[in-house]
Structure 1
């Protein structure tokens, strides 16, 4: 949608010349993306904290999976609720509330005396993570000028993986300093309070979304916000564009469950859900949540595993940056097929290394190498591409409803993988577990070949016409 808006609306508007307003927009983007940073940190911090946490709270493989995955189940619910709340009360208001929930959830986790209490507060933290995933990108999109929207919104995706990388690095530092302390995992979790405080304090000084203000008929306030983040001429000219976008937003909320009676819409939602589920079936988040334990099982010592795991975070960041650079240069289907081919190949190589090599340094480092290459391949292709395609395949009328369904399915698949990974590894071992991921990768390739359309370089209207013809 953003690319079409750029072509059709930007030429009719005065150029947004650089000035103080550009600096203001940059500050707003930095502050708001602390929500993405928290998303990444809170989903990644459990990776290094889990080993001492298991010993302190005496977790079994099942309760370990439950403590990790319950945050993701909370995120699925938070994404559904967060979108509705931001529509009703405003994007800025919602981010402020989420910052408070991040703080409450983090402190509750840090002070938890039992795994049951920890699971409760991890669920609360998940509500904030899901709410941030639904609110922050919308806020950034709506406050950015059309021609900069893509680059500003993509900063949130980058901040998510930066947050995970930061969690891995901070875990390694804390563990190597205070690793003998049974409460070391609490220090790791406590660090998340700092960006939550920055997010709350920063958003107090940030404006509301001009599109949301227009949707509430608060035109003067919307213009005042635009004057903060645009040149004066551009702000006044853009007021009418924002009015039109607000009308589009109202239209986008008219679709709902009743539209599932239409065959071609059901088919598109099936494709969207499939993309979301197969993205998670790569097992990317089993590595992001359990990477330290995985490397420990591969043969690294506890200290070495938590340090080596930072490579997963580093290559995740490098992968996303590579994906952002490639995503508009390669056809979507080719990029998806290439991505799943690579990830499936590395799954097989991890499995073969675990089965065929004797325990020792060679085995440990080969598994580390193949896991890191898997993470890079996934984040450079499938990770960002699925999110982009979900924004492209649905017609405007059902977009909010359909994307909500697909993201909910994605979060649930994420949670199921997080819940099942520890007991499956405990029962079957690393090799068999990664062969299962490889099998799912083959199914994903069949799904893409037979079901997923090409969307690159085509307008949303053209795609909708094709879907009506092909799937009716």
Structure 2
């Protein structure tokens, strides 16, 4: 039987107010989301760097897949391990460690003399990318007032797509201006060192999550942090809520991972989080972000034109993320997921139809497929990507937030890794038509999953969500 819901008699929190504390909160979010920028650049740069890299190092299709997917599979490990690390060491300290990993991994890739060192560097970058994908959203969600938690935590996804767009633009410029030079791909990767340095020094001046501090029994520090990012009245009220929740948790047995798996409500939310992450990846979005140039070459563009055309999905991804942030605190998460999956599934079907109706050699074929890819990426970014990362950062109770987020993002990255490893083989085997029809079929199943199983989270504090998840009442709303 689930435990009874604790009695919540706390008054409503004071309304948010403008002032220096709001600007401070914005600065904290900006610095932390450099982790998202690095995430985006490091995953997007391979899109244009892979072909010159393969030519210089003598890579074959299999080793190209190894270079690409090594980052992704390492990211799965990073997501799981850094979630636990962030629970023990703190969100801020873990992000600082990730900045060091980003810089070291970039250095190894840039100087790599061959496949072994290159893959080692990519693995280090993957650990950092996976860690950032877990820890940064949690840090932002725990710093944010619940009224703007969606838009604040969602800024990380905006920075991810800004990073990917930056990678596409840098690739296009460098590839078209200096593409004839050996080692051009090394310059593409070297750019990543700059935001890694900014993240490291920036986070040294940022505060720790007040909710993590409270979990460690450091009440005075937690209140001091809240006072820097809230009005005085709001900080005191939120602190009272945190103290109350801490007292309730102390009155219950301490939950380790075994206890998590013994509570069916916690297992259920763990599986839902993983399912949401897997559904996001099975839309095939990162196949486009990693192999967009290859898809566009297959559709009829030449290599250099595809490198330039590939900027279009990056631009629409940023526009979609901006729109998503604007509506994140106004629309329910479930409705956003359902809308996004409906649009992306329709986009997949249309891409499949277009590739059948317009045979190879038809001058309209590349432009129609590019337009539909842009529609797909825009739909994905507006309704799914930002919402998924916000959702994962808020659904898990505090005592299992690092573990839960780490597990969900681990499953997301594993799915991403297998798609990255086999996407080109799939296109080679069944063509663009079959590939996107398959994505459409998976989209229908993902839509059913969301409608049937995914609960709503918008409009409640993290503490209220924690109680509802632990007791199972979240599934009754």
The change in CA–CA distance for 1:191 and 1:255 in structure 2 (over 3 A counts) is same
Deviation (angstroms), 1:428: 3.0
The change in CA–CA distance for 1:231 and 1:39 in structure 2 (over 3 A counts) is same
Deviation (angstroms), 1:86: 1.9
The change in CA–CA distance for 1:9 and 1:43 in structure 2 (over 3 A counts) is farther
TM-score (norm 1): 0.87
Matched, 1:166 2:166: yes
How far apart, CA to CA, are the structure 2 residues paired with 1:252 and 1:352?
A: 57
The change in CA–CA distance for 1:398 and 1:142 in structure 2 (over 3 A counts) is closer
Is contact 1:252–1:399 with CA below 8 Å preserved after alignment? no
Aligned to 2:43: 43
The change in CA–CA distance for 1:123 and 1:453 in structure 2 (over 3 A counts) is same
How far apart, CA to CA, are the structure 1 residues paired with 2:283 and 2:141?
A: 29
Aligned to 1:430: 432
Aligned to 1:385: 387
Name stretches of at least 5 consecutive residues in structure 1 with no aligned partner. Answer: 1-6
Task: Return 441-450 or 193-202, whichever deviates more.
Answer: 441-450
The change in CA–CA distance for 1:143 and 1:322 in structure 2 (over 3 A counts) is closer
- Give RMSD over aligned pairs: 3.2
Matched, 1:322 2:323: yes
How far apart, CA to CA, are the structure 2 residues paired with 1:264 and 1:218?
A: 29
Mapping 1:48-447, distance limit 5 Å:
48-232=48-232, 234-235=234-235, 238-244=238-244, 254=255, 256-261=257-262, 266-327=267-328, 329-330=330-331, 332-358=333-359, 359-390=361-392, 401-447=403-449
Count of aligned pairs: 463
The change in CA–CA distance for 1:249 and 1:407 in structure 2 (over 3 A counts) is farther
Deviation (angstroms), 1:233: 5.5
The change in CA–CA distance for 1:247 and 1:193 in structure 2 (over 3 A counts) is farther
The change in CA–CA distance for 1:85 and 1:116 in structure 2 (over 3 A counts) is same
The change in CA–CA distance for 1:101 and 1:361 in structure 2 (over 3 A counts) is same
Mapping 1:442-461, distance limit 5 Å:
442-452=444-454, 460=465
Deviation (angstroms), 1:369: 0.7
Is contact 1:212–1:246 with CA below 8 Å preserved after alignment? no
Is contact 1:275–1:386 with CA below 8 Å preserved after alignment? yes
Deviations 1:327-362 (A, max 9, x none): 455555544343223222222222233334232431
Secondary structure, in 3 states, of the residue corresponding to 1:381?
helix
The change in CA–CA distance for 1:219 and 1:326 in structure 2 (over 3 A counts) is closer
Deviation (angstroms), 1:123: 1.0
Aligned to 1:3: none
Deviation (angstroms), 1:450: 4.5
Secondary structure, in 3 states, of the residue corresponding to 2:208?
coil
Deviations 1:432-459 (A, max 9, x none): 2222212222332343454445666787
The change in CA–CA distance for 1:231 and 1:468 in structure 2 (over 3 A counts) is closer
Secondary structure, in 3 states, of the residue corresponding to 2:45?
helix
Deviation (angstroms), 1:48: 1.3
Deviations 1:23-70 (A, max 9, x none): 333222211111111111111111111121121122222222221111
Deviation (angstroms), 1:256: 2.8
Aligned to 2:3: none
The change in CA–CA distance for 1:59 and 1:249 in structure 2 (over 3 A counts) is farther
The change in CA–CA distance for 1:262 and 1:217 in structure 2 (over 3 A counts) is closer
TM-score (norm 2): 0.86
Deviation (angstroms), 1:210: 2.9
How far apart, CA to CA, are the structure 2 residues paired with 1:108 and 1:11?
A: 52
How far apart, CA to CA, are the structure 1 residues paired with 2:229 and 2:206?
A: 11
How far apart, CA to CA, are the structure 1 residues paired with 2:455 and 2:229?
A: 37
Deviation (angstroms), 1:207: 2.5
How far apart, CA to CA, are the structure 2 residues paired with 1:19 and 1:440?
A: 47
The change in CA–CA distance for 1:447 and 1:68 in structure 2 (over 3 A counts) is same
The change in CA–CA distance for 1:375 and 1:466 in structure 2 (over 3 A counts) is same
How far apart, CA to CA, are the structure 1 residues paired with 2:442 and 2:453?
A: 16
Deviation (angstroms), 1:252: 11
The change in CA–CA distance for 1:10 and 1:159 in structure 2 (over 3 A counts) is farther
Is contact 2:83–2:405 with CA below 8 Å preserved after alignment? no
How far apart, CA to CA, are the structure 2 residues paired with 1:199 and 1:36?
A: 10
Deviation (angstroms), 1:306: 1.0
Of structures 1 and 2, the one with the larger relative CO (CA 8 A, separation 6+) is: 2
How far apart, CA to CA, are the structure 1 residues paired with 2:335 and 2:147?
A: 27
Deviation (angstroms), 1:231: 4.4
